[in-house]
Amino acid sequence: MKEPKDIQKDNSFITQIKDIIFTARQKAYTAVNSAMVEAYWLIGKRIVEEEQQGNERAAYGEEIIKILSVELTKEFGSGFGTRNLWDFKKFYLTFQEAEIMHTLCAQLSWSHIRLIMRVENKDAQKYYLKEAAENHWSVRTLDRNISTLYYNRLLSSQIKEPVIQEMKERTKDFQQDKFEFIKNPAVLEFLGLPNNSGYTENALEQAIINQMQKFLLEMGKGFAFVDRQKLIRTETGEFYIDLVFYNFVLKCFVLIELKTHKITHQDIGQLDMYVRMYDDLIKTDTDNPTIGILLCTKTDNTIARYSVLKENSQLFASKYMPYLPTEEELKAEIERQKEIFAMTKLKENENE
């Protein structure tokens, strides 16, 4: 008969017990995730159906989203902001086939689906959807493959095996966390469970955006608040800008985008695109060129980047910088808010 100390050394026995727990948790998550994804798809479907009854569809649709967000948040808590509701609508419009939703989409998390919806090429969308579901790609693996144009490179390669092997090698570390699915805060939001213990990116982002709005208005340099999660709709898609201000001294719009990861070239390109779109769609002839400010909140590397198109760097420095917060001021404010946020979360955990 084995002594308890022998059981501690029996790795196979302990591993089997761990596998039982892991499998049970994964089954529970799969059931919840499938129900959550289906609910989001059905919400998007109903929003589209309701919008089609309106005469002025664009304005009518925006009003529906605003009212629905208020009512759902009041009843079910976080997770039903206007940006999420627009995403639900986009989810349905992107994958209207019920068969795809009940098979491939049901096997993926909402984070997977949101990444895939950003891909413009329809064939690429279907490829990433199928591969991510069938090969159990983590969110980080999918994100990397999309950002490195894996589908396009694979399509253009006569010999595909080296491309596939390179992808597997460079994403193998992303596949190691077996419990990644349990950490998804969207599941907790959907179930209406408290999510105070986690230092989640979404909570940090919202906290900093709240304070950044106050920070700029209190600077006394001509800032006026315009909108938050500003929707810009084009023929090819819908885009959301975190914060929009108008500066009456500079007579121009100021767009602010916040990222909770290290700034990438894609982020910079996205900001420049927002600046161009705002100049084309919103700015009047009496306004000066729109300014974009890109903020990164990565814990060990806070960064602020400026973007102003149609102006050279010297003119930007002399004309705009006296009325904008400096990079040092922005960095200091973000770091201060991160410390406040961390302390608040610590106190909340201690009081539980």
Using one digit for the tens of pLDDT, what is the confidence trace for 299-314? 445 566 676 655 555 5
Q: Which carries the bigger pLDDT value, residue 231 or residue 244?
A: 244
Q: Which of 176-180, 218-222, 343-347 has the highest mean pLDDT?
A: 218-222
pLDDT above 70: residue 180:
no
Give percent above pLDDT 90 in the chain.
Answer: 8
Say yes or no to pLDDT of 228 above 80. yes
Give the chain's count of helices (H) and strands (E).
15, 5
Residue 276: pLDDT over 60? yes
* Confidence grade of residue 43 (pLDDT, cut at 50, 70, 90): very high
pLDDT > 70 fraction of the chain, expressed in percent and rounded = 74
Domains and their CATH numbers in the chain: 4-191 (no CATH), 201-351 (3.40.1350)
Report residue 89's pLDDT band, with 50, 70 and 90 as the boundaries.
very high
Stretch 189-204: mean pLDDT: 57
How high is the pLDDT of residue 12? 81
**Long-range CB contacts (within 8 A, 24+) of 264-269:** 264/147, 266/147, 267/294, 267/296, 268/294, 268/305, 268/307
Report pLDDT for 263.
72
pLDDT surpassing 50 at residue 197: no
237 pLDDT tier (thresholds 50, 70, 90): low
> Mean of the per-residue pLDDT values for the chain?
78
Each residue's pLDDT tens digit, 313-337:
555 666 777 777 777 777 777 777 7
pLDDT, tens digit, 9 for 90 and up, residues 240-264:
888 899 989 888 898 988 877 667 7
Q: What is the pLDDT of residue 198?
A: 47
Name all contacts of 136-141 with Cβ < 8 Å and 24+ positions apart: 136/175, 137/112, 137/171, 137/175, 138/171, 138/174, 138/175, 138/177, 138/180, 139/109, 139/111, 139/112, 139/115, 139/180, 140/171, 140/174, 141/171, 141/174, 141/175
More confident residue, 187 or 283: 283
Return the pLDDT at 4.
Answer: 56
